[in-house]
A = this chain, B = another copy of it.
């Protein structure tokens, strides 16, 4: 953490303006340069009530090129934001590469206020840990953080609040509840100090700015934004200590793929009985989830031609079309590429009460992107933790999560590819790429095993589905979904 305090001699208006005028062309040039780079700059504006956070935002907007800057205020969440995982709105607001995002209020606001109001220390600490993970994830992806904490003493706060009371017409903000602010000053100070200390790191450092003098405060902000823009302009991804972020080799465990009985086959009469049974169970469960405003995320991954589409359709057939969406993922578009790879998956999460089905998913990062080399080793290696964290956020947002890997043998895949080439309306399903992917089977297999090992969590467990017999696969999926929802509804 860096601390900035005004000198004993007050900064004169002339001197302030002279120094700002010197900085402005530099800021403009640095901003121009970083726009072509790979890094977004994320400016977190926080601090004590009355320290002038809004004034700093106005100043930043004056200095920066508006075409590359966006300001997001996190105030009271809207109803639809409340009906999504807590971090959803923060993810939505993240600036793309080459852009500056100024955040007024942030992921720090709620934990600190809740702790002031009595949140347990353990839960407060867990929230700070989530913040560290979130910031680290973005920083490792290239984001440059500028976290600013504007501080004033209780005495200065009181003076400023008195001034607002006397001249409300000179201020753009709502009158804060003065008594309450002053009464909780010490507690707030103590708790935010703890938050700052715990979330201060090399990848996202805090800057603690004494804001008793407005000019010093603004000048400090100007200097710091210049530094941040220059860092982003260099677009060097931060140095990642290999030992920490490279996945170690997989422990010598029993293979999950190998332990599946691929010969499993449901007799026809049993299927005809089980399919409607599970489908109607799922229908009713989906309505119960809807009524309790709870959601389901079902992730489908598997070998090409393993039967994902057919399994998904047996699920959706039992759902009211108003209650679900199927999201298919292929290559990201340019807006999606400009963000962290998880951004586009966050984006799709609907308000509570819905079922979302991912036809392929964020696991692409540790499957196709790993095997084809679209992601660097350190990138996919740290993705396991990032994905677990993503799913934890979703689970905390009131979701049940089920993840399916549809498993077939390489021989079975070959049979199906050939079959597809014969059946005219299935031809579109098979491309030269599918054939190429087949050659990399062992490397995909390795990636799948590691994925199953590292991302099989309590809140988001994997089910490996034997899929040689499509009917077995479908019943397994339906049964698992029913049990997942029943357990979830019992537990919640």
Contacts and interface: CB of A to CB of B under 8 A. Distances in A.
Contacts of A280: 169-170
A330 interface: yes
A46 to B, nearest CB: 13
A328 interface: yes
Main secondary structure of the interface of A (DSSP, over half): helix
Nearest to A312: B66
A180 interface: no
Given A316-B58, A335-B333, A73 B321 contact: yes
Contacts of A428: 28-29, 31-32, 65
A12 interface: no
Interface in A54-82: 54, 57-58, 61-62, 65-67, 70-73, 75, 78-81
A283 B172 contact: yes
A24 interface: yes
A270 interface: no
Contacts of A72: 325
A320 interface: yes
A326 interface: yes
B80 A320 contact: no
B66 A328 contact: yes
Contact of A61 (B104, B174, B313, B318): B313
A449 B310 CA distance: 58
Interface string A404-435: 00000000000000000000111110000000
Contact of A321 (B24, B58, B65, B81): B58
Given A66-B359, A67-B328, A321-B73, A425 B24 contact: yes
Interface in A284-334: 284, 286-287, 309, 312-313, 316-323, 325-326, 328, 330, 333-334
A41 B276 CA distance: 33
Interface string A259-283: 0000000000000000010001001
A424 B30 CA distance: 13
A425 B25 contact: yes
A25 B334 contact: no
Contacts of A66: 309, 312, 326, 328, 359
A284 B330 CA distance: 48
A116 interface: no
Given A24-B425, A67-B328, A425-B24, A318 B79 contact: no
Contact of A78 (B28, B80, B321): B80
A245 to B, nearest CB: 31
B318 A172 contact: yes
A316 B359 contact: no
Contacts of A170: 276, 280
A438 interface: no
Contacts of A424: 25, 28
Contacts of A80: 78-81
A117 to B, nearest CB: 21
A445 to B, nearest CB: 25
A321 B425 contact: no
Interface in A229-270: none
Given A73-B321, A79-B80, A333-B335, A62 B328 contact: no
A92 to B, nearest CB: 12
In this complex, which of A79, A83, A425 has the most chain B Cβ atoms within 10 angstroms of its Cβ?
A: A425
B316 A61 contact: yes
Interface of A: 24-25, 27-29, 31-32, 54, 57-58, 61-62, 65-67, 70-73, 75, 78-81, 83, 104-105, 169-174, 276, 280, 283-284, 286-287, 309, 312-313, 316-323, 325-326, 328, 330, 333-335, 351, 359, 424-428
Closest 9 CB pairs between A and B?
Answer: A79-B79, A25-B425, A80-B80, A25-B424, A73-B322, A24-B425, A169-B280, A28-B425, A75-B322
Given A28-B425, A28-B427, A333-B335, 12 more contacts: A25-B427, A28-B426, A58-B321, A66-B309, A66-B312, A70-B325, A73-B323, A80-B81, A105-B322, A171-B283, A172-B283, A173-B320
